[in-house]
Amino acid sequence: MLICKIFYNYKLRSNGIMKMEEGKESFYQTPECHPFVKWAGGKSQLIPQIIRLIPLRFARYFEPFLGGGAIFFQLASPNRNAFLSDINYELINAYKVIKNHVEELIPELIYHQNEYNKSPKKYYYHLRDSISSMNKINKAARFIALNKTCYNGLYRVNKRGLFNVPIGRYKNPLICDTDNLRKMSVVLKRSGSFLEVSDYKKILEKAQRDDFVYLDPPFYPISNTANFTSYTNNGFSLEDQKELATIFTELTGKGCKVLLSNSNTEEIRRLYSNYSHLTQVINVNRSINAVASKRVGHTELLIRNYI
Ligand SMILES: C[S@@+](CC[C@H](N)C(=O)[O-])C[C@H]1O[C@@H](n2cnc3c(N)ncnc32)[C@H](O)[C@@H]1O
């Protein structure tokens, strides 16, 4: 019964979900777009499992560990506001530029595409190591070009805050996905999205009763060697995970609906033991692992505070 109701709002397609607005004769169809970055812990492959758990009704949408925003792009609606944030300045700058200046961004990306195609390695390191003054559009174009061509789409900076990921192994990376960027721009504008560089705690102060919060923090590592949690120069420690669990409980107290993704480890299960009856274990492949054989056979947790 619940599944049927959910499918009234979200109809699964082979490549995603087509959104339907309730109570309208002709339904609004959000342009179908996908994350513009390859991002560690990106949720694209888990969309069907996560969408099934999204509450049927909610007021505003919060995604404070935004990354590539795979879930936001499935839920975006012109009928409600979305508070989208991440601690990574470069990432949020790129979102804002896509939203407000996509037609200025596209020629810059085409330029990077052409230069990269002429001499991939030379151009990659030239772009990576160029720290000359740039405006926000130049910065967004550089960020996207590096993300599309660096090793595994990793984002890692050194102590001076400079991006230091080596070149990836791609044959023909698509740096300028014009069609997707234009669709993203439409979705970000129509959905009344607020984009902010912020620590998750600050943005969640705005969350109120009936808002829905999707939390996808850097995962608690399964083993020491599996530690890929450093997306910025600040990692996310066990202490941070404990603080997040406290905030999960505070949001519950406020009447927010909260869904959290995390690794299936003893520590995380213990932190959310009060929600064990609302916790699902799901299978997942980890595309970020350098060793192909270690990318399969993992499980993750989806923990929620509502039925
Ligand atoms: C697992 S990724 C999110 C992936 C995203 N759901 C997707 O589909 O691509 C975690 C994100 O949290 C961000 N982050 C790390 N620490 C943060 C903090 N204290 N506050 C807000 N964002 C943070 C990282 O920059 C990263 O983008």
C-beta separation of 301 from 269 below 8 A: yes
Residues 6+ apart with CB under 8 A from 13: none
Ligand 1 centre distance from Cα of residue 214 (Å):
11
Residues 6+ apart with CB under 8 A from 263: 219, 220, 221, 222, 300, 301
pLDDT of residue 296: 53
Report CA-CA distances (Å) from 34 to 38, 155, 177, 180, 189: 10, 19, 10, 7, 15
Q: What is the pTM of this model?
A: 0.87
pLDDT attached to residue 30: 67
Query: Do 78 and 96 belong together in one domain?
Result: no
Judgement on whether residues 48 and 99 belong to the same structural domain of the protein: no
| Cα 85 to ligand 1 centroid, rounded to whole Å | 9
Looking at residue 221, its pLDDT comes to 84
Q: Over the chain (307 residues), what is each successive 10-residue block's mean pLDDT?
A: 36 41 45 92 94 96 97 92 97 98 98 98 96 92 98 92 95 96 96 96 98 96 55 72 98 98 96 98 72 65 97
pLDDT at position 298 is 84
Are 17 and 50 within 8 A, CB to CB? no
User: Which residue's CA is the nearest one to ligand 1's atom 27?
Assistant: 67
Distance from C-alpha of 42 to C-alpha of 92, rounded to nearest angstrom: 15
Query: Phi/psi at 43 (nearest 5 deg)?
Result: -100, 15
Which residue's CA is the closest to the ligand 1 atom numbered 19? 199
In a domain, 184, yes or no: no
Q: What is the pLDDT of residue 29?
A: 58
User: E-assigned strands of 148-252?
Assistant: 193-197, 212-215
Residues 102 and 83 both lie in one domain: no
Q: Ligand 1 center to residue 216 CA distance, Å?
A: 6
Q: Based on the fold, state whether residues 287 and 226 are members of the same structural domain.
A: yes
Same domain, 6 and 104: no
CATH of the domain at 66: 3.40.50.150
| Residue 76 contacts residue 190 (beta carbons within 8 Å) | yes
> Domain for residue 185, yes or no?
no
The two structure tokens encoding residue 118: 């002429």
Separation of alpha carbons 144 and 140, rounded Å = 6
Question: Which ligand 1 atom is at minimum distance from the Cα of 35?
Answer: 9
> Looking at the structure, do residues 151 and 248 belong to the same domain, yes or no?
no
Instruction: Report yes or no on 188 lying in a domain.
Output: no
CA angle centred on 149, ends 196 and 161, rounded to 5°: 50
The reported pLDDT for the residue numbered 11 is 44
Q: Tell whether 164 and 222 lie within a shared domain.
A: no
Q: Which two tokens stand for residue 142?
A: 């550089």
Segments forming the whole domain that contains residue 102: 91-178
Residue 108 lies in a domain: yes
Check pocket membership of 64 for ligand 1, CB cut-off 6 A. Answer: yes
Position 52 scores a pLDDT of 95
Whether 81 and 209 map to the same domain: the answer is yes
Residue nearest to atom 18 of ligand 1 (CA): 199
Does residue 199 have its Cβ closer than 6 Å to ligand 1? Answer: yes
CATH of the domain at 159: 1.10.1020.10
Residues in the chain: 307
Q: How far is the CA of 152 from the centre of ligand 1 (A)?
A: 16
Q: Do both 24 and 166 map to the same domain?
A: no
User: How far does residue 131's CA lie from ligand 1's centre (Å)?
Assistant: 24
Does the beta carbon of 300 sit less than 6 angstroms from any atom of ligand 1? no
State how beta strands 212-215 and 10-13 pair. Answer: unpaired
Counting the structural domains of the chain, the total is 2
**Cα–Cα dist 193/81, whole Å:** 6
